[in-house]
Amino acid sequence: MHADVETQHAVVIAGGGPTGLMLAAELALARVDVAIIERRSSQEVSGSRARGLHARSLEVLDQRGVVERFTSQGQAVQNVAFGQAPLDLSDFPTRHNHGLALLQERFERILAGWVGELAVPIYRGCEVTGFAQDDTGVDVELSDGRALRAKYLVGCDGGRSLVRKAAGIDFPGWDASISYLIAEVEMTGAPAFGIRRDEKGTYAMGKLEDGRVGVVLREERVVTGDAPTLEGLREGLVALYGTDYGLRGATHLSRFTDMTRQAASYRERRVLLAGDAAHVHSPMGGQGLNLGVQDAVNLGWKLAQVVRGVSPENLLDTYQTERHPVAARALRTTMAQTALSRGDARMDAVRETLTELLRMDGPRKTYAALLSGLDVHYDLGQGHPLLGRRVPDLDLVTADGPRRVFHLLHDARPVLLNLGEPGALDIIPWADRVRSVAARYSGAWQLPVLGAVTPPVAVLIRPDGHVAWVGEGTDQGLHEALRRWFGPPRAT
């Protein structure tokens, strides 16, 4: 097959949705030759799908210096809730103590613009139809007859991922127990805006742009295969509301279920999975897009280092070790949210009890951090509470003037932040890979839920913003952490 290959790239990404675009940006920042295969001829999204970002996703975009592109187009909102209980983040120690209301279509368009600036090629109007792996790379077949050669292929091609299926990766989980119609419609009558919940389930109408109405209806029976129809939507409206409110047409009509599945493995040799290709679940809680973006930021720098020969291939194993538990927990949470959407009196009692509990400060903070992504803690061993958690975005004083911690991460490179004696920490054998920054900071270090933690003397920050090592007065363990995450030392 090699003789027919037209083009070579270090990494090929199947799918140019939020996850694929974010991963491409991360790889491009790390100077890796990456290309996207996207079946859509443009970045237009059918319907609104995801409707916002959570706090940690905003932090991730802030780490790359592009968050203002998104916040300028959306609206800051407290968009975290569990059951009927809204969970306020406004007292959380983060610059982004809120979510962002922003339709997926607009989010993708902004993200694609950034990826374009990074000169990532996108093969539009085609999709991956097959691939073959060998010891040095992957031959990728496209639907338009072209073939590509890559060192690695990443499936960001959604819940029905061809890449996952062709790689033979199992996708265990639970079949759908409930299905909903979701639509953007035009009505001549006055809609019944708001959320309703009764013995027939949870259903809602909301105002959209251009006078359209967003509708979410639970179906009387679980439907998974048939394409939804306008007539079926009309029947659903009449069954639940007693009228179709003069339903005239739909600009978008789709179905979602609570099918919940997770890939048994996120990697099969030179093929990896991210986003919905790796995990699907109910949209309750708005986790999907955010999980995918954060998958991409965890995987990107690791894949870049392996491709560039900086790190051994087993660094990629940490992608599954770290991200699989995060998604598994999100899947469990969305299953619970779906159960809470049922409308019988017993479930009403459960919701009311949970709402009372979540008004208490401790439970509110715990679940708000969980659902917003601010509490993600990778198991990097025992030690300081910062180890494995996202680094706070502190206001530092440096020789070059004031700097925020997130500013130091704009180029997606690791940073050794030294708040002690300048020059006391020797990282010369890694100086080509890790940026060393001497700074001063006098305030408390605050983490979501945990509160104030002992200020470190130094921290080693991975490109994804998670802390890989904490110095508490000595350099013990620093070289081990540098070797583990950023490859063997350079020969001097």
Residue 268 confidence (pLDDT) above 50: yes
Q: Where in the chain is the domain with CATH 3.40.30.120?
A: 395-486
Residue 54 pLDDT:
96
Statement: residue 311 has pLDDT above 70: yes
Confidence of residue 3 (pLDDT cuts 50, 70, 90): very low
pLDDT band for position 252 (cuts 50, 70, 90)? confident
What's residue 49's pLDDT? 59
Whether 389 and 377 have beta carbons less than 8 Å apart is answered as yes
Give me the mean pLDDT over the 321-350 stretch: 90
At what angle are helices 288-307 and 18-29 packed, to 10 degrees?
30
Q: Are 437 and 455 in contact (CB under 8 A)?
A: no
Q: What is the pTM of this model?
A: 0.93
Helix axes 288-307, 55-63, angle to 10 degrees: 30
Higher local confidence (pLDDT), 52 or 395 = 395
Q: What is the mean pLDDT of the chain?
A: 92
Summarize pLDDT for 145-192 with one digit per residue, the tens.
Answer: 999 999 999 999 999 999 999 999 999 999 998 888 888 899 998 888
Q: What's the rounded mean pLDDT across residues 214-243?
A: 87
- Measure the CA–CA gap between 54 and 364, rounded to whole angstroms: 16
Q: How confident is the model at residue 2 (pLDDT cuts 50, 70, 90)?
A: very low
pLDDT value, residue 218: 84
- In this predicted model, which residue has the larger pLDDT, 160 or 343? 160
Q: What per-residue confidence (pLDDT) applies to 46?
A: 58
Domain with CATH 3.50.50.60 in the chain: 2-173+261-372
pLDDT(416) > 70: yes
Pick the CATH number of 2-173+261-372 from 3.40.109.10, 3.50.50.60, 2.60.120.10, 1.10.3720.10: 3.50.50.60
Every domain range in the chain assigned CATH 3.30.70.2450: 179-257
The contacts found for 110-115 with CB under 8 angstroms, 24 or more apart, are 110/69, 110/70, 110/73, 111/18, 111/21, 111/22, 111/25, 112/16, 112/21, 112/43, 113/69, 114/25, 114/66, 114/69, 115/21, 115/24, 115/25, 115/28, 115/36
Cα–Cα distance, 21 to 10 (Å, whole number): 16
| Mean local confidence (pLDDT), 415-441 | 93
Q: Does domain 179-257 have CATH number 1.20.1250.20?
A: no
pLDDT of residue 14: 98
Find where tokens 């013995």 sit.
Answer: 199
Instruction: Give residue 50's pLDDT.
Output: 67
**Overall fold of domain 395-486:** Glutaredoxin (3.40.30)
Closest CA to 28 of 151, 117, 113, 140: 117
